[in-house]
Structure 1
Amino acid sequence: MAQDINYVSEFTQFMRGYLAEHQDVAKGQVEGRSLLWDKAPINLDEKARNDASRVAQKSYPYQAD
């Protein structure tokens, strides 16, 4: 079963046209990605100190012993 390599779905055509007309949307997507996904590099020494200084917590802290 051979597929047409030139086929572009209606949705893809719509999105390409929409993003071409509304360039502010693409800019907003980049800004949103940077807020949620793009993080600063991790300092491994600082992470190790933070992990070592963490206090173990009971599984249910509100239970009276």
Structure 2
Amino acid sequence: MYQSDITQFLNQLKQQKPSLEAEQRKGRALLWDKQPIDLEERAEQKASRVEQTPYSYYQNF
């Protein structure tokens, strides 16, 4: 059965480093997977936010 060079490389890499997929999942969880949003905390943060002027360098003189 034919296997491309890339497939052979990946299979060899997985044999040499069996923890590779677990490390990839851990990295994905760190960067992409988000915790569910707490709606009460979100509302509290929004209510405590200070309104900012559109252009903060020029204040009302």
TM-score (norm 2): 0.59
2-structure distance, mates of 1:17, 1:35: 26
SS at match of 1:50: helix
Say whether residues 1:10 and 2:5 are aligned partners.
yes
Which of structure 1's runs of 4+ aligned residues deviate more than 6 A? none
Instruction: Please state how far the C-alpha of 1:7 moved relative to its aligned partner.
Output: 7.2
**RMSD (CA atoms):** 2.6
Structure 2 unaligned runs (5+)?
none
Structure 1 unaligned runs (5+)?
1-5
Instruction: Please state how far the C-alpha of 1:55 moved relative to its aligned partner.
Output: 1.5
Instruction: Please state how far the C-alpha of 1:60 moved relative to its aligned partner.
Output: 4.5
2-structure distance, mates of 1:21, 1:12: 14
1:52 aligns to what?
47
TM-score (norm 1): 0.57
